[in-house]
A and B are shown apart, each in its own frame.
Chain A
Amino acid sequence: MSAAIAPKRSLLARAADDRMVVAVALALVATAAVVAGGGLSGYRVNTIGQLACFALLALALDLIWGYAGILSLGHGLFFAIGGYVVGMHLLERSVAETGVTPDIVQFMGWKALPGWWGPLESFPVALLAAMGVSFAVAFVFGWASFRSRVSGVYFAIITQALVYVAMLLMFRNDTGFGGNNGMTGFQVVFGVPIQDPAVTKGLALASVLVLLAALVACRLLMIGRFGRLLVATRDDEVRLRSLGYETLRLKLKVWCLSAVLAALAGLLYVPQVGIINPRVLSPELSIEIAVWCAIGGRGRLAGAIIGAVLVNAVKFALSASLPELWPFVLAALVVVVALIFPNGLLDLGKWKPTLLSRSRALEARDATP
């Protein structure tokens, strides 16, 4: 490789990432416009809204896995925190506005919803509670783990155990959140009956716009000094510490930010599917989030969104026709991507002739069987 062209490579790679982020952001704007336009069926709009929530969840994971090198296999926990809090909010509103006693009151053997849920009737309170609880759980767990310098696969295993414990806990009726049945039977969202197409549209639109805002904000954060320090932590944490940086603080900040984003995703998701139960805490779902990121491409934000949308779109299509095929399709997808695009599907972009440098051409040749 000649020295003259060498310095441009890293800049080119960065420019390619920027283009992908801009392309995904424009696609989100277009999606928002189409949803707002009203030409789509309610089913399509609802699907778009759900995909946006999964994409936001993947974005949250990419912040910590792709940039800081911290793999969480328990992000379903934070998603569930957002989901349960909004579930409580929706039940409170439903009772207040329709007077109908929800099923949860009967099967839990209550007379009414627990008194301490009361404040959650206000949406701002519910929003703050979802963000606050996810932040607090992430802070305590992250502080304990990072302080003890638990990292890599050990950290991943602990997060997996954490989400599993949470699932077992939430399956118990005595825990007080509806047990196995969870929460369902929501009647109204912001005073509008939940079956109203305006609710479907509003929620989908909100999900897409929150995703867009999160993408732009995270990208700005990641190309700045904070993002570079996260990458430095990932590449060589000991080196960074012995340059005078408290990596514990860096990791804790991004970990908590990621947890709050995941909680927001759950908060937007649950009104759109009308139910929250302990199954979102299953270890499989949490592992799947990592799969979305890996398939799309880690550490580039756009990759996480593309991966989440792609995998879940295929999942939606298959679960309508051949649900039993899904695990095999997912496994095949993982294997194919790992073999051909070890850095995710975003590497497809590297095949553009304008970006080909000698070493890229070699990489591409080596990677293709």
Chain B
Amino acid sequence: MTVAVLIEGLTVEFGRFRALNDLSLAIDYGEVRGVVGPNGAGKTTLLDVISGVSRAKAGRVLFDETMELTRASEAEIARSGVRRKFQKPSVFEALTVRDNVAIGLGAKPAPDGPEKVARMLETVGLAGDADRLAGELAHGQKQWLEIAMVVVAEPKVLMLDEPVAGLTDEETERTAALVKALRSPGRAIIVVEHDMDFVERISDRVTVLHEGRTLFEGSMARARADAAVVDVYLGR
């Protein structure tokens, strides 16, 4: 199994605050990795660095064992096959649902683009809303639309930042099924989420971050039993 994302000695600072502190982490192709931890642990910062939104002070992020992401632009990273759903649903509200997904195909869409978009809309259950403006959608639908926008380009690394925040139980259920369906041998999926049951259902392994470092790595069941994890995050 090859490593999809290899992070070595990654440090990110915002002024005097150290969001990530000499973090090292390896995420394999084929796995779904849950990243959990208390607020301020560095979860979103980690995704920001991988996707090129934030810059690292030290360390490196290697994609596909060849491409150094800390020096690439956001657009280059996205084009190489690393895509990310943001924490706050980020869709283009003044465009139709269909246009949103079509834009997700990238700057040079293949000729079978329209079919891919149609299939993607079926997958996330938005086919009936294809001609509505994205701004008219409900919160949960926006979450799915954004997932559709990033998944339609068939990314090799898929990052989901709080995909079930603010969703109902039923919507969370459907999202879990969707993430499981997206799991494939040629893709690594990284999920940042506070909903522990959701993380347990979808993840192969979890990484618990605390103060910018890895506190624990392994199965969710073992994380729940780990004294340090319980202490800083899960509570008694």
- Residues of A bordering B, CB below 8 Å: 3, 6-11, 13, 228-229, 231-232, 234-236, 238-247
A245 to B133, CA, bound (A): 21
Contact (Cβ within 8 A) B95 A231: yes
In the bound complex, do residue A243 and residue B128 qualify as a contact, i.e. CB atoms below 8 Å apart? no
A244 touches B75 (CB 8 A): yes
Contact indicator per residue, chain B 95-129, by CB within 8 Å of chain A (1) or not (0): 11001000110110000000000000000000011
Cross-interface CB contact of A229 among B93, B103, B130, cutoff 8 Å? B103
- Given A235-B92, A235-B95, A236-B92, check contact A9 B74 (CB 8 Å): no
The chain B residue with its CB closest to the CB of A233 is B92
**Cα–Cα, bound, A239→B51 (Å):** 11
Query: B173: CB under 8 A from chain A?
Result: no
If A10-B96, A10-B132, A243-B149 are given as contacts, then 15 extra A-B residue pairs at C-beta distance below 8 Å, sorted by A number, are A6-B129, A6-B136, A7-B128, A231-B94, A232-B95, A235-B92, A235-B93, A240-B103, A242-B53, A242-B74, A242-B75, A243-B103, A245-B75, A245-B106, A246-B107
Contact pick for B107, options A228, A235, A239, A244, CB 8 Å: A244
Residues of chain A with a CB closer than 8 A to B75's CB: 241-242, 244-247
Residue on B with the closest CB to A10? B133
> Which of B53, B74, B107 has the most A CB atoms < 10 Å from its CB?
B74
A243–B104 touching, CB < 8 Å = yes
Q: Are B103 and A238 in contact (CB under 8 A)?
A: no
Query: Quick check: B86 and A239 within 8 Å, CB to CB?
Result: yes
Inter-subunit contact A243/B132 (CB<8 Å):
no
Say how far A254's CB is from chain B's closest CB, in angstroms: 16
Contact A242 B78 (CB under 8 A): yes
Interface set, chain B 135-180, CB cutoff 8 A to A:
136, 149-150, 153
**A7-B132, A228-B99 known; A241+B78 contact, CB < 8 A:** yes
Q: Is B42 positioned at the interface, with any CB of A under 8 Å from its CB? A: no
A235 to B103, CA, bound (A): 13
Q: Which 7 A-B pairs have the closest CB atoms?
A: A244-B78, A244-B79, A239-B90, A10-B133, A241-B74, A232-B92, A235-B92
> Does B187 reach chain A (CB closer than 8 Å)?
no
Contact A242:B84 (CB < 8 A) given known A6-B132, A236-B90: yes
Chain B: CB-nearest residue to A4: B128
Q: CB-CB contacts of B68-93 with A at 8 A, as 1s and 0s? A: 00000111011100011010001111
> Closest approach, in angstroms, between the C-beta of A313 and any C-beta of chain B?
30
Q: Which has the most chain B C-beta neighbours within 10 Å: A8, A232, A242, A247?
A: A242
CB neighbours of B77 from chain A (8 A): 242
State how many angstroms separate the Cβ of B91 from the closest Cβ of chain A: 7
7 A-B Cβ contacts within 8 A?
A7-B129, A10-B96, A13-B133, A231-B92, A231-B95, A242-B84, A243-B103
B133 cross-chain contacts in A, Cβ below 8 A: 9-10, 13
B212 on interface, CB distance cutoff 8 Å: no
Number of interface residues of B (CB under 8 A): 34
Q: Which of B78, B90, B103, B129 contacts A228 (CB 8 A)?
A: B103
Chain B residues, CB < 8 A from A3: 128
* Interface pair B95/A11, CB less than 8 Å apart: no
Tell me if B131 counts as interface (CB < 8 A to partner A): yes
Q: Complex Cα distance A150/B79, Å?
A: 24
Roughly how many angstroms separate A238 CA and B161 CA in the complex, as a whole number?
15
- For A229, list chain B residues within 8 Å (CB): 103
* CB-CB nearest in chain A for B84: A242
A8 to B136, alpha carbons, bound, how many Å? 12
Q: Given that A7-B132, A10-B133, A244-B75 are known contacts, is A232 also in contact with B84, CB under 8 Å in the complex?
A: no
Contacts A9-B133, A10-B133 known; A245 to B91 CB distance under 8 Å? no
Complex CA–CA separation, A240 to B106 (angstroms): 9
Q: Are B132 and A9 in contact (CB under 8 A)?
A: yes
**Is B34 an interface residue, CB under 8 A from the partner?**
no
When distances are taken between beta carbons in the complex, the residues of chain A under 8 Å from B30 are none
A235 pairs with B94, CB closer than 8 A = yes
Contact of B52 with A by CB under 8 A: yes
Alpha-carbon distance between A242 and B159 when the two chains are bound, in angstroms: 12
Return B69 CB to nearest CB of chain A, in Å: 12
Q: Are B51 and A242 in contact (CB under 8 A)?
A: yes
Query: Which chain A residues lie closer than 8 Å to B149 at the CB level?
Result: 243
Residues B45-83 near A (CB distance < 8 A) = 51-53, 73-75, 77-79, 83
Q: Which of A6, A228, A229, A243 has the most chain B CB within a 10 Å cutoff?
A: A243
* Residue among B53, B96, B103, B107 with the highest chain A CB neighbour number at 10 A: B103
The smallest beta-carbon distance between A301 and chain B, in angstroms, is 15
Distance in Å: Cβ of A5 to nearest Cβ of chain B = 11
| Complex Cα spacing A11 to B75, Å | 31
Contacts of B136 in A (CB 8 A): 6, 9-10
Distance from B103 Cβ to chain A, minimum over Cβ atoms (Å)? 6
Given contacts A239-B86, A242-B78, A243-B150, contact A7 B131 (CB under 8 A): yes
**Which of the listed residues A11, A234, A241 has the most CB atoms from chain B within 10 Å of its own CB?**
A241
Q: Report B-chain residues with C-beta under 8 Å of the C-beta of A231.
A: 92, 94-95
Query: Inside 8 A of B153's CB, which chain A residues have their CB?
Result: 243-244
Which residue of chain A has the shortest Cβ distance to B129 in the bound complex? A7
Tell me how far the C-beta of B122 lies from the nearest C-beta in chain A, rounded to whole angstroms.
16
| Distance in Å: Cβ of A222 to nearest Cβ of chain B | 12
